[in-house]
């Protein structure tokens, strides 16, 4: 499946790298795309949505439900 999340708090490429790294570590994630301008994170794979959200939150960013 694919899901796109609205993520707040990303301001530069360092943030993009942080979010990618955190989400890629979640079981079942195949790929992560981050649109910094739009504040969107698109995740492909079989990962649990709540686990992905928790990873982003744990990295210090906010996920808008
Ligand atoms: Cu940053």
Q: Give the domains, in start order, of the chain with CATH numbers.
A: 2-64 (3.30.70.100)
pTM of the model: 0.94
Q: How do the pLDDT tens digits run along the chain, 65 residues long?
A: 899 999 999 999 999 999 999 999 999 999 999 999 999 999 999 999 999 999 999 999 999 97
Distance from the CA of 16 to the center of ligand 1, in angstroms? 7
Distance from the CA of 9 to the center of ligand 1, in angstroms? 8
Go through 20-52 and write b for each residue having 16 or more CB atoms within 10 A of its CB, e for each that does not: bebbeebeebeebebeeeebebebebebeeeeb
**CA-based torsion, 36, 40, 45, 47: positive or negative:** positive
Determine contact, residues 5/53, Cβ cutoff 8 Å. Answer: yes
Distance from the CA of 45 to the center of ligand 1, in angstroms? 25
Distance from the CA of 19 to the center of ligand 1, in angstroms? 10
pLDDT recorded at residue 41: 98
pLDDT recorded at residue 37: 97
């Amino acid at each position: 499946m694919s899901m796109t999340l609205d993520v707040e708090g990303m301001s530069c490429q360092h943030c993009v790298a942080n979010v990618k790294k955190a989400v890629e570590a979640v079981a079942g994630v195949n790929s992560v795309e981050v649109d910094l301008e739009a504040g969107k994170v698109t995740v492909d794979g079989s990962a649990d949505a709540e686990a992905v959200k928790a990873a982003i939150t744990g990295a210090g960013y906010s996920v808008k439900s």
